[in-house]
Homo-oligomer: A and B are copies of this chain.
């Protein structure tokens, strides 16, 4: 499953500066900017001329799920299609002891029954503006790294605020090519988003963890929402038509979505850091969380419901990290990366235009070392790995809101700038349920992890524990805090710093206790990242000079266009076909003797004879995608929907570091299967009609 999860973002990547810009793109490589699409490549390889009209239509039909995925408009009445596992966050939060929509599915047969998600925000990209010159002009060359970081943060906040004040649109300055360019992205925002339809998780995630990141697959990983404005379905100009023809082998297709993060142009020093420190740390953290959440879930059904979405997310990340680490531990892959870096370093030596470049690699290595020295505190305190609790996150946001909002906009921590305020409040005041027992379990576990890493006798740990064991401390914090109450949150947020202080809330006081250390280590890492960013800009410039200009930046969870062919591959000397069918689903289930997670929902057992079993179900293509592309539409040359991205195969897990189309494939739900299932299994003909325009 390829979501760019909030969890995957809990620990902000220590390599902020992932890469500058990639090698000259070959094959079907690339996550392209909509304002710099691969016109020439498409023309040369596929004879397809991309038009501005086509681009605008696809761009404005594409939707970003701020919970960590992609989607698209599929009707003029605001209907949005994405993956079940992207909708999971909303479905999970709408459930309670008596309703498990995530597991059992949901269908609103009337508009009245469409149910609003607690805190789902959708973004639609309306325009892109290049603001590189203005950003760079504000960062004078004689500034220290620390000053440069602050100056850059201030000018970005100013640009965003101006844009927001002028247009009312969400405005984000996006750092591309690792500081090579800065683009202002303006989004139309939808915060009244209602769930329309979700199938049972058993069919959306048929095969579960064992089949995750595998192919052939048989998953109906689809979910429908509707965007509302002013209490009514939004009227949408740009939405994708449905292809009734489906898709042919070797056909050219496009994927429009929001890949989360790639690391293709890290230097060797950064890749080695990722291999030796970052991934092992994340896996160590996730392993214990997976193990505890699994044990918690096994106790009873209600526990399982409460933990389900978190657990899925952890398991999903685990597979992705194992795959990524295996890539970095493969001497062939790393050898190739090393040769490329050495070639570039040789090429820049002696070029008078690039006289500052040779030192850039060493600067990055030095900065990475300092980041590494601070990584433990950064992860535990700043990124919060020591305090895995939703309530802690709320408490810290309240504390910092009190401290940050009185400051001038340009001097605030990045997440408190004026232009993000609406989105921040939308999250902070969410009515999503929070479960004490699950919170206590996660907090006690992360406190124990903190003790393990910082040492029981350290004064930090002793201050945090306050004479209690981790279990006792987590229990008193979770049971004692009042920030569960959304009205209290609103009050403290509105009244600010003095009210937050006066509340004497134990969880807020914990956040206060560690805040000086958390802020100080964050500053160190941000300053070093600025140094890396400047050095990456120099390397990028060199690459630009030596390798040419037509290329794409590393992924940044912003809209990108990828392209490729529908195409099977070979595995263990056997051909893997480009698509599967419903018949294959029933065969796979029988072959596994119907045991979970290969059991079928009752609805699919009952309606087997109603279905056309030769309907194509899942398909693969060579488009360049990564986590965050989940829910992206797969479209044909006419921009009609032929599939819905939901995963990559196991061989695609190295795409974080390098593109390959030999066996790596994007996995999608075939468009034909969706209306067929809606009509025959779910008695949802009206939804199928809205989607396809056909009765």
B208:A331 contact, CB within 8 angstroms: no
| A467 within 8 Å of B (CB atoms) | yes
| A54 within 8 Å of B (CB atoms) | no
A610 vs B325: C-alpha distance when bound (angstroms): 56
B456:A276 contact, CB within 8 angstroms: yes
A448 vs B321: C-alpha distance when bound (angstroms): 13
Looking at the complex, which of A287-295, A385-393, A659-667 is the stretch in contact with chain B? A287-295
- Checking B272, B288, B294, B448 against A456 with a beta-carbon cut-off of 8 angstroms, the contacting residue is B272
Additional 7 contacts, C-beta under 8 A, given A291-B291, A298-B597, A325-B448: A280-B452, A283-B288, A284-B284, A287-B288, A329-B451, A330-B469, A331-B467
B210:A299 contact, CB within 8 angstroms: yes
Given A276-B456, A298-B209, A456-B275, A469–B326 Cβ distance below 8 Å?
Answer: yes
A196 vs B298: C-alpha distance when bound (angstroms): 32
Count of this chain's copies in the oligomeric assembly: 2
- Checking B276, B318, B329 against A291 with a beta-carbon cut-off of 8 angstroms, the contacting residue is B318
A276 proximity list for chain B (CB < 8 A): 452, 455-456
A469:B288 contact, CB within 8 angstroms: no
Chain A positions 433-486 with a Cβ under 8 Å from a chain B Cβ: 448, 451-452, 455-456, 467-472
A276 vs B457: C-alpha distance when bound (angstroms): 10
| A592 within 8 Å of B (CB atoms) | yes
Interface flags for A364-393 (1: CB within 8 Å of B; 0: not) read 000000000000000000000000000000
Q: How large is the interface on A (under 10, 10 to 19, 20 to 34, 35 or more residues)?
A: 35 or more
- Checking B301, B329, B468, B471 against A448 with a beta-carbon cut-off of 8 angstroms, the contacting residue is B329
Given A287-B288, A301-B593, A595-B301, A456–B295 Cβ distance below 8 Å?
Answer: no
A329:B283 contact, CB within 8 angstroms: no
A451 proximity list for chain B (CB < 8 A): 329
A325 proximity list for chain B (CB < 8 A): 448
User: Looking across the interface, which residue of chain B has its beta carbon closest to that of A452?
Assistant: B280
| A98 within 8 Å of B (CB atoms) | no
User: Looking across the interface, which residue of chain B has its beta carbon closest to that of A447?
Assistant: B329
A597 proximity list for chain B (CB < 8 A): 298
Interface flags for A270-290 (1: CB within 8 Å of B; 0: not) read 001001100010011001101
| A300 within 8 Å of B (CB atoms) | yes
A470 vs B284: C-alpha distance when bound (angstroms): 18
Show the binding face of A for B, using Cβ within 8 Å.
Answer: 208-210, 272, 275-276, 280, 283-284, 287-288, 290-291, 294-295, 298-301, 318, 325-326, 329-331, 448, 451-452, 455-456, 467-472, 592-593, 595, 597
21 contacts between A and B (CB under 8 A): A209-B295, A210-B300, A272-B456, A276-B452, A276-B455, A276-B456, A280-B452, A284-B284, A284-B287, A284-B288, A287-B287, A287-B291, A298-B597, A301-B592, A301-B595, A325-B448, A326-B469, A329-B469, A329-B470, A329-B471, A331-B468
A275 proximity list for chain B (CB < 8 A): 456
A299 proximity list for chain B (CB < 8 A): 210
CB distance from A459 to the nearest CB of B (A): 15
A318 proximity list for chain B (CB < 8 A): 291
A299 vs B468: C-alpha distance when bound (angstroms): 42
B294:A294 contact, CB within 8 angstroms: yes
Chain A contact residues: over half helix, strand or loop, or mixed?
helix
CB distance from A316 to the nearest CB of B (A): 12
User: Looking across the interface, which residue of chain B has its beta carbon closest to that of A445?
Assistant: B322
A272 vs B300: C-alpha distance when bound (angstroms): 35
A152 vs B294: C-alpha distance when bound (angstroms): 47
User: Looking across the interface, which residue of chain B has its beta carbon closest to that of A295?
Assistant: B209
CB distance from A369 to the nearest CB of B (A): 14
User: Looking across the interface, which residue of chain B has its beta carbon closest to that of A272?
Assistant: B456
User: Looking across the interface, which residue of chain B has its beta carbon closest to that of A292?
Assistant: B322
A210 proximity list for chain B (CB < 8 A): 295, 298-300
A470 proximity list for chain B (CB < 8 A): 326, 329
A597 vs B595: C-alpha distance when bound (angstroms): 14
Question: Of A284, A288, A455, A597, which is in contact with the most chain B CB atoms at under 10 Å from its CB?
Answer: A288
B469:A331 contact, CB within 8 angstroms: yes
Q: Which 3 residue pairs are nearest across A and B when measured between Cβ atoms?
A: A287-B287, A330-B469, A280-B452
A448 proximity list for chain B (CB < 8 A): 325, 329
A331 proximity list for chain B (CB < 8 A): 467-469
CB distance from A599 to the nearest CB of B (A): 12
User: Looking across the interface, which residue of chain B has its beta carbon closest to that of A333?
Assistant: B469
A300 proximity list for chain B (CB < 8 A): 210, 592
A287 vs B448: C-alpha distance when bound (angstroms): 14
A325 vs B288: C-alpha distance when bound (angstroms): 14
Question: Of A290, A329, A592, A593, which is in contact with the most chain B CB atoms at under 10 Å from its CB?
Answer: A329
A291 vs B284: C-alpha distance when bound (angstroms): 11
A468 vs B335: C-alpha distance when bound (angstroms): 12
A468 proximity list for chain B (CB < 8 A): 331
A208:B298 contact, CB within 8 angstroms: yes
A595 proximity list for chain B (CB < 8 A): 301
A469 proximity list for chain B (CB < 8 A): 326, 329-331
CB distance from A279 to the nearest CB of B (A): 9
A300 vs B470: C-alpha distance when bound (angstroms): 38
A325 vs B468: C-alpha distance when bound (angstroms): 14
CB distance from A657 to the nearest CB of B (A): 14
A467 proximity list for chain B (CB < 8 A): 331
A272 proximity list for chain B (CB < 8 A): 456
A595 vs B300: C-alpha distance when bound (angstroms): 9
CB distance from A412 to the nearest CB of B (A): 38
A592 proximity list for chain B (CB < 8 A): 300-301
A690 vs B389: C-alpha distance when bound (angstroms): 57
A472 vs B272: C-alpha distance when bound (angstroms): 19
A428 vs B249: C-alpha distance when bound (angstroms): 55
A675 vs B209: C-alpha distance when bound (angstroms): 42
CB distance from A379 to the nearest CB of B (A): 16
CB distance from A245 to the nearest CB of B (A): 36
CB distance from A372 to the nearest CB of B (A): 13
User: Looking across the interface, which residue of chain B has its beta carbon closest to that of A327?
Assistant: B469
CB distance from A594 to the nearest CB of B (A): 11
CB distance from A202 to the nearest CB of B (A): 14
A456 proximity list for chain B (CB < 8 A): 272, 275-276, 329
A283 vs B280: C-alpha distance when bound (angstroms): 15
A294 vs B299: C-alpha distance when bound (angstroms): 17
User: Looking across the interface, which residue of chain B has its beta carbon closest to that of A300?
Assistant: B592
